[in-house]
Chain A
Amino acid sequence: MKLPRWFHMLGSPPHVYALAGRVSPWIGALGCTLIVVGVGWGLGFAPTDYVQSEVYRIIYIHPQTAYVSMQAYVLLAVAAGIGFIWRIKLAHAVAVSAAPIGASFTFCALVTGSIWGAPTWGTFWEWGDPRIMFELLLLFLFLGYMALRAAFDDRDKADRVSAILGVVGVVNVPIIHYSVIWWTTLHQGPSITGLDDPSIDSSMLWPFLLMMFGFMFFFFWLLLERLRAEIVVREQGARWLTDLMAGGKT
């Protein structure tokens, strides 16, 4: 099978550096716009919840950060797997870039969930709750991936060994997703159970979805920018980078 030329170009650091630089401002602007509109709508205009009152408004950031944290891990695992199997260095660079950003979204999901739990569950933290535990495990997987890499001086070795951890850890993602269905838990069920019959009203669904896509685009913006930095780190001394800097185009 003959692969198209643009596909081969995705393995080329100078091409990806330039492409990411052109695309990322648009993705960033879109993400920021969706978040600003979503926050305004969610905090200012969406109706009050009749069970949870105003504290329910954390629903416009908590599920979104949690969802993006899982998405970030799947992306890390796929990129690391591609890098491991086909020995593509840029794929490892993508995995490396996803890890710290994913960890920060996981942190947000845990903290906002904890803050939401205090008034609604009566506790900031519940060790017995499966979803909290597996989301915490997700944080440790991101941090473990980064720590494992830091243990190697040789980058190629770090890429290959950390990729194994990255790929194996992905089993945790479906466990987080189905944890509220498989086990009895304090955590409330999913807010979106299918667009034909969502379990939340459309007046709340719209800001919910705006924030969901806003965080996704924001994540991809961060990922592209982090990937550009990672390419510069990895391509120190490369001719194309020296030329690019001499031309003032970085």
Chain B
Amino acid sequence: MSEFLQMGGYAPYVWSAYGITLVTLVLNVWWIRRLHRRALDQARNAAEPGAGARLPKVRRIE
């Protein structure tokens, strides 16, 4: 296992290349999801002001 991780002495190169690529793919997914959600929230707010999911929750004080 440790031999695998060492990559014949090239570990910093191989793992950083794979790591940066993985992070870029994941960030793409996250960022696109966020854009989609925000656009839907905005559309919801425009159609029915105050109905957006992003509004803060307020607790009534008795």
Q: Which residue numbers of A lie inside 8 Å of B, CB to CB?
A: 39, 43-44, 48, 53-55, 57-58, 61-62, 65, 100-101, 104-105, 107-108, 111-112, 115-116, 118-119, 218, 222, 225-226, 228-229, 232-233, 235-237, 241-242, 245, 250
Contacts and interface: CB of A to CB of B under 8 A. Distances in A.
Given A101-B28, A236-B43, A112 B21 contact: yes
| Top 5 closest pairs, chain A to chain B, by CB | A54-B8, A229-B36, A232-B39, A55-B10, A54-B7
B17 A116 contact: yes
Contacts of B33: 225
A210 B32 CA distance: 25
B16 interface: yes
Interface residues of B, number: 29
Contact of A58 (B4, B14, B25, B36): B14
B40 A245 contact: yes
11 contacts: A43-B18, A58-B13, A58-B14, A61-B21, A115-B13, A222-B29, A228-B36, A229-B36, A232-B39, A236-B39, A236-B43
Contacts of B46: 236-237
A6 to B, nearest CB: 25
Interface of B: 4, 7-10, 13-14, 16-18, 20-21, 24-25, 27-29, 31-33, 35-36, 39-40, 42-44, 46-47
A222 B39 contact: no
Nearest to A223: B32
Residue of A48, A62, A119 contacting most chain B CB atoms (<10 Å): A119
Given A54-B14, A111-B20, A115-B17, A232 B43 contact: yes
A245 B43 contact: yes
